[in-house]
Amino acid sequence: MKLLRFGEPGAEKPGLLDAQGAVRDLSAVLPDLTGDALGPASLRRLAALDPAALPLAPEGARVGSCVARPGKFICIGLNYADHARETGKEPPPEPIVFMKATSAVVGPNDDVEIPRGAAKTDWEVELGVVIGTRAKYVGEADALDHVAGYCVVNDVSERAFQSEHGGQWTKGKSHDTFGPTGPWLVTRDEIPDPQALDLWLEVDGVRRQTGNTRTMIFGVAGLVSYLSRFMTLEPGDIIATGTPPGVGLGLKPPVFLRAGQEMRLGIEGLGEQRQRTVAATRESGR
């Protein structure tokens, strides 16, 4: 299944994409796509529905983040060897883990803000893993059983905030709008091998990133198992699994985002995103 959320920021409804590409309204079946809705029993119930019997969503409705109110947004740094090297670092011996504030989460096609004082705002297409069942001390062989599905994530980053202001990376990763997620949560049964997905990103029509998840240093199963040693993973948590080479920081000379540009990105089988960059405002809608 392809699950999504539609409607204005703060008033999204759950939906399902039918075989014809139309969005069907699930709000009579469940209140929202929170962690409670992503467990195996709930997903089986949704899969048994007849999409044709569900009402259509309004044509042209905005698409929101495919997960409502994730408890944690966990990110993995330098998880593609070529990306590590383009940033001047060696591939890590263990996963580099950092957090992105959940207030950064927006819809896949919402505007992305260039923060006040930013100098090096960058793009990162990433495979997102959405947890469906609680995971604590799980083995790698069983790790994927705890995954509800997968989605596209743009791990937007302000490199100056990330690396030039002391402390950890979180401050460069957490500005409002720095976490476009979706358009869909594609359930695990539709993605038999998460290590065989093409991913790409363009800025103003110029291809910047082209990669495949098979070149990850640490695969999805290994990451879920590893993270479950250090924190309990809860339904609805999102793991952004790292980005392939081609980020602005790695170009020679480096190229960074400015207001008025367009990013387009996607992952095989998981859909596409499209964002316009704008100058930061006092308030941001989600």
pLDDT in single tens digits along all 286 residues of the chain: 999 999 999 999 999 999 999 999 999 999 999 999 999 999 999 999 999 999 999 999 999 999 999 999 999 999 998 887 887 878 899 999 999 999 999 999 999 999 999 999 999 999 999 999 999 999 999 999 999 999 999 999 999 998 787 777 899 999 999 999 999 999 999 999 999 999 999 999 999 999 999 999 999 999 999 999 999 999 999 999 999 999 999 999 999 999 999 999 999 999 999 999 999 986 654 4
Domains of the chain: 64-279 (3.90.850.10)
Look at residue 167 in the predicted model and tell me its pLDDT. Answer: 75
Q: For 248, how many CA atoms within 13 A lie in the half-sphere containing its CB?
A: 20
| Number of other CB atoms surrounding residue 54 within 10 Å | 19
Rounded to an integer, what distance in angstroms lies between the CA atom of residue 263 and that of residue 215?
Answer: 23
Rounded to an integer, what distance in angstroms lies between the CA atom of residue 203 and that of residue 132?
Answer: 33
Look at residue 283 in the predicted model and tell me its pLDDT. Answer: 64
Within the chain, strands assigned E span: 2-6, 13-17, 23-25, 73-77, 96-99, 105-106, 112-114, 121-122, 125-131, 147-154, 157-158, 179-180, 185-187, 198-203, 206-212, 238-240, 262-267, 271-279
- The answer to whether the predicted template modeling score (pTM) of the entire model surpasses 0.85 is yes
Look at residue 164 in the predicted model and tell me its pLDDT. Answer: 82
Look at residue 286 in the predicted model and tell me its pLDDT. Answer: 47
Tokens of 183: 């358009």
Map tokens 């930013």 to a residue.
Answer: 118
- Measure CA 35 to chain center: 15
| Residue 132: exposure state from Cβ atoms within 10 A (0-12, 13-18, ≥19) | buried
- Measure CA 184 to chain center: 10
| Number of other CB atoms surrounding residue 226 within 10 Å | 17
